[in-house]
Structure 1
Amino acid sequence: MKLIFQIILLAFLTISGCKSKHVNESESRSEAPKVVFTEFDLGERDLPKLKREVNDYEFIFTPEQLEKLTLIIRDFEKETTNQIAVVSIDSIGKYTDFDQFAIDLSNYNGVGQKEKDNGLTIVFSKNLKKIRISTGYGTEKILTDEICKNVIDRTIIPEFKNGEYYNGIEKGITELIAKWK
């Protein structure tokens, strides 16, 4: 009985303590609120729990861009069962290696079906100027490290250098999907 009461109290405090800030389109994207992960958002390894296909923790994409990327990813998953996650992140917390952070983030969140290991996660940080494509073992049989590196170097990075983060990610996903089918 005490446990139930404690859970209800914790839920009430969590819900009543949550506040959201509406960002007007006229406000600068650089003034967007920082995402600070609380103990309720982070798992045992200080990694965020991904809530959707596109997790924009740096507030880089517009709502329309988020929707378009999500539809591309969902349509591809319906067609193939392959899963894609995109994550923009401001920092990697206690990690010192961005690549390891990306791999652990993908594994922690179980991107891809366990029995097929058919996941792919694109983790990037505008702030840190880093990007990594992390693939499951089943996926890397088709999308090798070399293919992923070429997509990053030839497709995504040139767009990022022009400040076109959405275009880079959309073109990168489209190219990866074409090679993955």
Structure 2
Amino acid sequence: MKAILKIIFIVFLTIYSCKTKQIEKTEPKTNAPKVEFSVYDLGKSDLPKLKRQVNDYEFVFTMEQLEKLTLMIREFEKNTTNQIAIVSIESIGKYSDFDKFAVDLSNYNGIGLKEKDNGLSIVFSTNLRKIRITTGFGTEKILTDKICKNILDQTIIPELKNGNYYNGIEKGLTEIMAKWK
């Protein structure tokens, strides 16, 4: 009888320890929170509702970098009323065109004052290796497509290619702000 109890006890411990090891293996190893958009966040579209000036859904920036970018944008908005949003996104959901996704995301979130149409967003995905600067019609009078393309090609993209995401976005943002006053 004691032998049977010992065998049952050993089997129980073996099964319990296997389950514990399995749980340990599946836990995330980073401190970054998992990004999942609920139906409420997405609404009736495949676009997230942006909650701040810098929305880092890919976790490419440190907290300090997020704070610096946010302060730059807030100070600029306070002085000019121009609104800027930066979004890093892992996927574009049901969209097949990144540019259309970036424009729709900006419009859906109402970046810029409605009466001035003075919004600008920088939407990028390290996962998809895509980036787009979108501008409102009021913004486009100053920051033309050609100017935005030059900022992307000459300032932001070279840094992104080297994995310097913060440097690229910060330098591009600085250049945008200098031209958009």
TM-score range, shorter chain: 0.7 to 0.9
Kindly report the root-mean-square deviation, in angstroms, between the aligned alpha carbons of the 2 structures: 1.3
Aligned to 1:42: 42
Q: Distance in 1 between matches of 2:48 and 2:62?
A: 21
Question: 3-state DSSP class of the match of 2:121?
Answer: strand
- For the residue of structure 2 that corresponds to 1:41, the secondary structure is helix
Contact 1:34/1:58 (<8 A) preserved:
no
Query: What amino acid does structure 2 have at the position aligned with 1:138?
Result: G
Q: TM-score scaled by structure 2?
A: 0.82
How far off its partner does 1:35 sit?
A: 1.5
* Residues 1:161 and 2:161 aligned together: yes
For 2:43 and 2:149, the matched residues in 1 are separated by: 29
Q: C-alpha separation between the residues in 1 aligned to 2:33 and 2:151?
A: 31
What 5-or-longer segments of structure 2 have no aligned partner?
1-27
SS of residue in 2 equivalent to 1:40: helix
Give the structure-1-normalised TM-score: 0.82
Q: Give the match for residue 172 of structure 1.
A: 172
User: Aligned partners of 1:96 and 1:47: how far apart in 2?
Assistant: 13
Task: Give CA deviations for 1:41-73 in whole Å, capped at 9, x if unaligned.
Answer: 102221000000000000000000000000000
| Unaligned ranges ≥5, structure 1 | 1-22
Give the C-alpha shift of residue 78 in structure 1.
Answer: 0.3
Could you say which residue in structure 2 is the equivalent of 1:56? 56
Give % identity.
Answer: 76
Could you tell me whether the CA contact under 8 Å between 1:85 and 1:121 is conserved in 2?
Answer: yes
Residue type of the alignment partner of 1:114: K
The range that moved more, 32-41 or 123-132, is 32-41
Whole-Å Cα distance in 2 between the matches of residues 127 and 33 of structure 1? 17
For 1:60 and 1:43, the matched residues in 2 are separated by 25
State whether residues 76 and 82 of structure 1, in contact with CA within 8 Å, keep that contact through their aligned partners in structure 2.
Answer: yes
In 1, the alpha carbon distance for the partners of 2:78 and 2:102 equals 25
